[in-house]
A and B are shown apart, each in its own frame.
Chain A
């Protein structure tokens, strides 16, 4: 009975718990340091628990609807409204549930990590407040079924994350990164708002399912689609709109960077949600698919080649994040390009999409892990310049092992999880267009090459005189990294189970527009 109540209200609790904890954080922080840390961990722990409960419910019983302010949580259409969903509806299907799992796992490990990793800084209450707001925004973006609501959460995420990017100030450089990120995301969010306005002007709805059921694909819809694709691809860091990414990722505190990756992927989720759930087959599929594919290939190639000459360890990893985003765009882009062709879709399009979506999950895990290890190194060394590092493998063995796991996973070396998703992408994209697949493999090789560089210059070599007193990082940081490393390994060893249980339902939920509409509007 009680359990039912939790499951039913899980979508609302996901937002309410971190929001409440965020705004009470300054008060709790006044009590003591311990209380503040406990409060942050509890809030994140409960949020992750609700996310897990919700994801379990979605994967076992299908799409979960939560209607704010209604008599019953699943009453999307008020009885006296004449078939119009007037309230804010949260629609969590398998794809949303997958994103929620990602946010929960990364959020939990990052909070554990930052307990020790950021303890040296002052005024940490505001840090945790902003961090929990960021978590709220990510959960909101991936579970909302309302376009305007999506815009609001997009803005919350932009505000919270750019404030966190600028958090360290760092002689003004972090603020420089923060203001660039903030201006671009504000502009992007405003374009999303214009698109929302266009939809409202045409259909008098804000609910995604309701608009989707009446979608005409007029010229105005095409403009709205282009605005949404541009803005959300920019937020996801696709080349050539990626310029903010290295700045923001390298200047943010490392724990925040791991979460910024998740925020970018929530934008990516928004992009896919718009294309699949809002437009789907009304879409000019091959044009839009090729736009996404071209963005993806550009991101892969430019990202990895820009990463090679970098000297700042986090800037290098940031370029790799761009490059990996390219894989997701490529995989799902191929799925979009063949959306109108059921034979091709079932032959390879669906596998390519599964690969892309699996890569979203894997990327969040190993990239989060890599940024956390980078943070651990910076924590001990005190700067980010790889030219001045070396020999840290002698003193930081655990960090080194975690780094190796993350680096091999991002380079797509078996048996880590990056390999499984990249394999799905290579083989299915090869059937679509062999050249794209070959580019993807070459990019993977270059990724490995540049991580060999990072590994060699940071961990290998003799024990350097300037870092003799460097030692292993505190336990809570190791636990944070350990969670992500464990996920990377387990998902690499059992990819089939993961794909069958988690990924394919998510890909199917994206493709199945009718199911999404029926879940909200009820069988119509």
Chain B
């Protein structure tokens, strides 16, 4: 049943307040689970350091996965697509204008020809 706050989409409805209530309940459950966990955690001791099979922890800057390395696999999988689209963005002004005028001309033709 749609409440007063629900957004009718013509297909169904969407009520953010119900959604927020659900998230709040989920958060409460998560909190209860978290509270049942281990309490003997001490800050600043060797306990908090990452354990990398006994190896020395690398420097701060080396741990962080930088932006360029994220989604490497995705970009590699779509390499065919990117090989075509990226070079189109040439940065040459003449090409920019050519695309603009070309598409405008195409729109003229389409609108003019269609009955």
Contact = CB atoms under 8 A, between A and B. Distances in A.
Direct touching of A and B (C-beta under 8 Å): yes
Nearest to A241: B100
A427 B19 contact: no
Contact of B68 (A180, A240, A387): A387
B114 A284 contact: yes
Interface string B21-38: 000000000000000000
Given A187-B97, A493-B20, A423 B14 contact: yes
Give chain B's interface secondary structure class.
helix
Interface string A167-202: 000000000000110011001100100000000000
B12 to A, nearest CB: 7
Given A291-B110, A453-B71, A496 B100 contact: no
Interface string B80-112: 011001101101010111011101100110111
Contacts of B85: 302, 305-306
Given A223-B112, A226-B111, A423-B7, A495 B66 contact: no
Contacts of B95: 243
Contacts of B88: 240
Nearest to A350: B10
A382 interface: no
A290 to B, nearest CB: 9
A354 B80 CA distance: 37
Interface string A411-451: 00011000110011001101100000000000000000110
Given A420-B14, A423-B9, A462-B60, A184 B100 contact: yes
A401 B94 CA distance: 42
A302 B99 CA distance: 15
Interface in B49-83: 59-61, 63-68, 70-71, 74-75, 78, 81-82
Contacts of B12: 427
Nearest to A417: B16
B100 A187 contact: yes
Given A230-B103, A423-B7, A423-B9, A222 B82 contact: no
Contacts of A234: 100, 103-104
Given A222-B111, A231-B104, 16 more contacts: A183-B93, A223-B108, A223-B111, A227-B108, A230-B104, A305-B82, A305-B85, A391-B60, A414-B16, A415-B16, A420-B7, A423-B14, A431-B11, A453-B71, A456-B70, A457-B64
Interface of A: 179-180, 183-184, 187-188, 191, 219, 222-223, 225-227, 229-231, 234, 240-241, 243-244, 246-247, 284, 287-288, 291, 302, 305-306, 308-309, 311, 347-348, 351, 386-391, 414-415, 419-420, 423-424, 427-428, 430-431, 449-450, 453-454, 456-458, 460-466, 492-497, 499
11 contacts: A222-B111, A284-B111, A306-B89, A308-B71, A309-B82, A420-B7, A453-B67, A461-B65, A464-B60, A465-B61, A494-B16
